[in-house]
Amino acid sequence: MSVTAAQGFVASGVTAGIRPSGKPDVAVVRSLPRAVGAALWTTNRVEAAPVTVSKRHLAVAEPQAVLINAGVANAATGDQGEADAVASAEALAQELGLETEEILVLSTGVIGVRLPVDKVLAGGRAAAAQLSPDGGAAAASAILTTDSGPKVAVVASGGFTVGGMAKGAGMIHPRLATMLVVITTDYPLAAGEAGVFLRPAVAQTFNRISVDGDCSTNDAVVLLANGASAAARDDAVFADALGEVCTDLARQIVADGEGATVVLEIGVTGAASGAEAEAIARRIATSPLVKTAAFGHDPNWGRVLAAAGSAPYDDGFARLETGRLTVAFGGVAVFAAGAPTGAVPDSSGTVCRIDLDLGLGDGAAGYLASDLTYDYVRINAEYTT
């Protein structure tokens, strides 16, 4: 049920003819009780029109519904792109009896192509008419592009529920990861509180994944909360549940990376600072040499060392002393105290765990990444042709 698992939420997914494949391509998620919400957006300076418009809406109103289209990103489309995004929100607002500013619009697909606004408007009308508590699965399917299938997660805890859906398989790298995520909850939050919980959850999950090192123009993570569960406030339990949903969805995105066959789990401990640990983990996760070695099931720890030692940080590189460094593949130390151990780990599985202990301090961070395969190149070489 994903985004409709929490009480008071309805959703739908329809085919509007935007995608040439004829697959579903327009989704709507709505809270029936009044909701509060927040969103985090791509930091790419080439900001898609729906991001610009939705930011504007969020600045003046609490979001009550989200309209998503797949197939066209409506990015790099100028003033017309913004006008099309606004028109989409206006039309859905009329259908739902809401204010335009209470609608967030998200788009994903090819950059530089004008939104087929007539199809989006028709899709929005159809989706509005089909909204249902059972519509979560249809919505999760309608937002996909190169994904192999829907990505959903649900956690029930403390008398409330958190549910989410995501799309994303390529152009995945923070901040954020082409990734769209909608999370709903019936936990009671006051105006202004949703972002307080969303920011740290995203920082530890969606901002620590990488498929190809490219940051999208359209990335968004939206949280809607309507309090319909009437659960007693326990913010620590809610934060854990939200983090669990984000973690689950983030891992699904990496595992479904375009052409991916191996998930890289990278852990860095003993760094001089937490920020430097994250910088080193990110550098390893985005190294083409590390990722291609993972594809070949080659425990080439030399590539890991080289990446770790060249992690950009504070106008230089993150601190690292080779003589204190330990590197392990799947729990087997292959490099310790400045020298190879001679051990040869088994790297034949679909998960490759790489741990580094820098021996410098208490800084720690983790990252998830996918391998880099022939299929990734094929998919992206033919993306618009």
- As a whole number, mean pLDDT of residues 365-380 equals 86
User: What is the pLDDT of the chain when averaged over all its residues?
Assistant: 93
User: Residue 313, Cβ neighbours under 10 Å: how many?
Assistant: 18
Give percent of the chain with pLDDT exceeding 70: 95
DSSP classification of residue 163: E
Answer whether residue 214 shows pLDDT above 60.
no
In the chain, where are the structural domains located? 2-255, 263-381
From the list 190, 183, 220, the residue with the least C-alpha distance to 34 is 190
Greatest mean pLDDT among 82-91, 161-170, 372-381 lies in 82-91
Comparison of pLDDT for 221 and 373, the residue scoring more? 221
> Tokens standing for 164?
């989410």
pLDDT at 127: 98
pLDDT of residue 206 exceeding 80, the answer is yes
Model confidence, pTM = 0.90
Q: Which CATH architecture has domain 263-381?
A: Roll (3.10)
Cβ(368)–Cβ(265) below 8 Å: yes
Taking only the tens place, the pLDDT of each residue in 107-153 is 998 889 999 999 999 999 999 999 999 999 999 999 998 788 999 99
- State how far the Cα of 94 lies from the Cα of 100, in Å rounded to an integer: 8
Give yes or no: 217 in active site.
no
- CATH T-level assignment (fold) for domain 2-255: L-amino peptidase D-ALA esterase/amidase (3.60.70)
Quick: pLDDT tens for 267-294: 999 999 999 999 999 999 999 999 999 9
Asked whether residue 177 carries a pLDDT value surpassing 80, the answer given is: no
Cα 330 to Cα 341: distance, rounded to the nearest angstrom: 14
Which pLDDT score is estimated for 213?
Answer: 53
Confidence of residue 215 (pLDDT cuts 50, 70, 90): low
φ and ψ at residue 76, rounded to 5 degrees: 60, 45
CA 177 to CA 208: how far, in whole Å? 8
Q: Which of 178, 184, 247, 373 is catalytic?
A: 178
CA distances from 144 to 118, 170, 189 (A): 20, 11, 29
Q: Take residue 257 and report the two structure tokens written for it.
A: 């990376």
Closest CA to 268 of 357, 185, 184: 357
Burial class (CB in 10 A: 0-12, 13-18, 19+), 342: exposed
